[in-house]
Amino acid sequence: MIIRRLVLENFGPYFGKHELDLSVTPDHEVVLIYGENMRGKTSIVNAIRWCLYGSTLDRYERPIPQQRFINYDAINVGDYHMAVEITFDHQDSHYELERRIQSSVKPTSDRDLKSSVNLKKDGYLVPGGDITDVVYDILHPDIARFFLFDGEMLAQYEILLGQPTIASQKVRESIEQILGLPALTKGKEDVETLKKDAQRRQTKALDVSKQHAALTAKSQQLEAALEGVKGDLDGLRNVYSKLQEERDQLSDKLQGFGDAEAEIRELDTLEAEIGKLTTEAEEAHAECKKLIAEAWWIPATPRIAARLLELNEAIENQFSLRLRREQLSADITRLAKSVPNRVCEFCGQPLAEAVAQHLEERQKALAAQLTALPPLATDVDTLIAERRSLQAFAREDLSVRLAEAERRSVKATVDQHKRESKADAIRTRLRGHDRAEIKATQLQLENAVRQMLKVESDIATKARDEADLNQQMARLQQEIGRLPGADKRIAVEADVYSALERLLELGIDEYRDRLRLEVEAEATGIFRELTTEPRYEKLEINEQYGLRIVDDLGRTIVDKSAGAEQIVALALIGALNRCATKEGPIVMDTPFGRLDRGHREKILRFLPTLHTQVILLVQSGELEPTEAAAYLDGGLAREYRISRDESPTRSRFDPVRKVQ
């Protein structure tokens, strides 16, 4: 599908008739529409969606009343009509789709509106009853989120990385929808229904012989058991849908509280953190007190260390002096034996006179050195005793522990104060709100979601029971089919259905696994093209199609930036479009919100390869016009700017550039 032209009449901020030529060529695939905030970018996406499906959704995927889209100025001048026309090409045919609503009185709700829709295919009108089928066949609303999407909502794909929840299940279902998995799941359900029908007919056609009767009775028992399980399943599904309703009502109610709801959640988190920090601070403080009681001397540690150094030096000096004295005394004593007798003390030989004189002089010199040495201190033992007693206080570990405990105490106290200030600010803003009611609603919602998960698990268990009973029934029917008298034709029919059911069942698992690998490979290729971080090696897919970044050392990146999240989401959308069952124009609203210049450049260079038509709705804060032209590298087909007339509810399109 390629959109050629979009005409808006009194739609959103567009008063009167406004036309956008969105034609692209194979070499110029991108249409760029600039518009500052509140000028009507999102209205373009809404107009396309409304024209295709007759309804449009808000960011919580709830329908928006149509009457809200009629231009205020038009209503003020008594013009109560609104229309959108899309001209597009699809598979060699040309289509013109026009949707219109009008009212004879000033509309206050959708009940006041009369709507009409016309579709022409290759110049011929399509019958009214077939329009929805034709449009759905071209681009079904269940997969539209991957073609018409809001860049601000890309973060929703992050939920696919957490534990399965109702919200992640919805996204996963949409992904499987675009990849065509329902063709197999619904096909299996259809074949299963047909198989049961054939089995019932087969049972009825049996002769009432003894054997037949026994098998028939068994078959009836199994059928009754199956009905029972089916009844249970229906009951559980009813409970589930009631819980869904309850969840939706509670969600709506919470949304009605506006920012207060999110603030209460934040306040709860802050209060929990404050409690934890208070305990941490108290524990650290208690540890400090205990350490100070054990080690009251810690403040004197530097002086103790200095005194210990002095003592060590003094004791060392005394030991050296004593050793020197002993050595000199020993040498003098040895010479005193040799010199007076003029005989060598070692061999007993007489000494030559010159040698004897030399030894005598040596003896005198040593005696002089001994006399020159300072006297030994009398209190060395006292010094050693003092050192021993001070060493008991030189335990650095206690002072380190004390410093660490003090640091923790201070940090916890500071963090606690910061959070308390934040909490106080929130409490001030929450004045006038019934916090108890909001909290009660939050709890009810959490409870409803918990119950839904429980019921979901019960449904899965019952579904397994049903599958077991079905298998038993199939075996029994084969047995019945082999009995004489049974209708061979019905037996063949039942066998074919059973085999087809099994085939589709195996096919679903196999296809799902294959899709996952395919999406992972495509997303990795796109991601590597888009990321500016060379360490990021690949994306890894999980059971829910959530994608994690893996770096070149094989580590999963857990704390990724908001920009990286957006790149991963874009890679997922790109991969889904490449693997998709359908091709449609990609219309992206505010896609660069959280991205830096490097990523913007890479995305712009990549976009023309994504699809044959890409319509970008951007504001100047996220993309400079010069950047766009440079990086799109010739891929730009057209460029518009949304300007505002004299009234804030009157926007218009100004063509800026037409490249093709």
Partner 1 sequence: MERSKDAAKTVLEALVPNILAGVSNEVAAEILKGEIVAEVFEVAWSCRFEDDRRNAQRRIRQLIADAIKTRQIEALP
Q: Which residues bind partner 1 (CB under 8 A)?
A: 136-137, 140, 142, 179-184, 186-187, 189-191, 193-194, 478, 481, 488-489, 491-493, 495-497, 499-500, 502-504, 506-507, 510-511, 514-515, 518, 578-583
What minimum distance in Å lies between the beta carbon of 134 and partner 1? 12
What minimum distance in Å lies between the beta carbon of 583 and partner 1? 8
Compare residues 224 and 492 and give the one whose CB is closer to partner 1.
492
What minimum distance in Å lies between the beta carbon of 511 and partner 1? 5
What minimum distance in Å lies between the beta carbon of 90 and partner 1? 13
C-alpha 393/C-alpha 296 separation (Å) is 10
Compare residues 403 and 492 and give the one whose CB is closer to partner 1.
492
561's tokens:
């930036």
What minimum distance in Å lies between the beta carbon of 138 and partner 1? 11
Length of the chain: 660
What minimum distance in Å lies between the beta carbon of 519 and partner 1? 10
Q: Under DSSP, is residue 344 helix (H, G, I), strand (E, B) or coil?
A: coil
Paired strand residues for 18: 8
C-alpha 453/C-alpha 459 separation (Å) is 10
Compare residues 150 and 501 and give the one whose CB is closer to partner 1.
501
Compare residues 185 and 399 and give the one whose CB is closer to partner 1.
185
Give how far Cα 460 sits from Cα of 169, 451, 467, Å. 14, 14, 10
What minimum distance in Å lies between the beta carbon of 96 and partner 1? 23
What minimum distance in Å lies between the beta carbon of 185 and partner 1? 9
Residue that has been written with the tokens 């939706």 in this structure = 248
What minimum distance in Å lies between the beta carbon of 452 and partner 1? 23
Contact 570, 526 (CB under 8 A): yes
Compare residues 80 and 511 and give the one whose CB is closer to partner 1.
511
Compare residues 106 and 186 and give the one whose CB is closer to partner 1.
186
C-alpha 421/C-alpha 416 separation (Å) is 9
Helix (H) or strand (E) holding 14: strand 14-21
Please choose, from the candidates 436, 453, 58, 55, the residue with its C-alpha nearest in 3D space to the C-alpha of residue 247.
453
Q: Name every residue whose Cβ is closer than 8 Å to that of residue 493 and which is 6 or more positions away in sequence.
A: 198
127's tokens:
């019958």
Compare residues 228 and 507 and give the one whose CB is closer to partner 1.
507
Please choose, from the candidates 605, 557, 606, the residue with its C-alpha nearest in 3D space to the C-alpha of residue 577.
606
Compare residues 193 and 312 and give the one whose CB is closer to partner 1.
193
Q: Name every residue whose Cβ is closer than 8 Å to that of residue 402 and which is 6 or more positions away in sequence.
A: 288, 291, 292, 295, 298
What minimum distance in Å lies between the beta carbon of 569 and partner 1? 20
Beta strand 2-11 with 14-21 is antiparallel
Compare residues 181 and 642 and give the one whose CB is closer to partner 1.
181
Give how far Cα 513 sits from Cα of 143, 282, 445, 542, Å. 20, 53, 33, 10
Compare residues 192 and 565 and give the one whose CB is closer to partner 1.
192
Residue 224: Cβ within 10 Å count: 10
Beta strand 586-589 with 148-150 is parallel
Contact 164, 579 (CB under 8 A): no
Contact 173, 145 (CB under 8 A): no
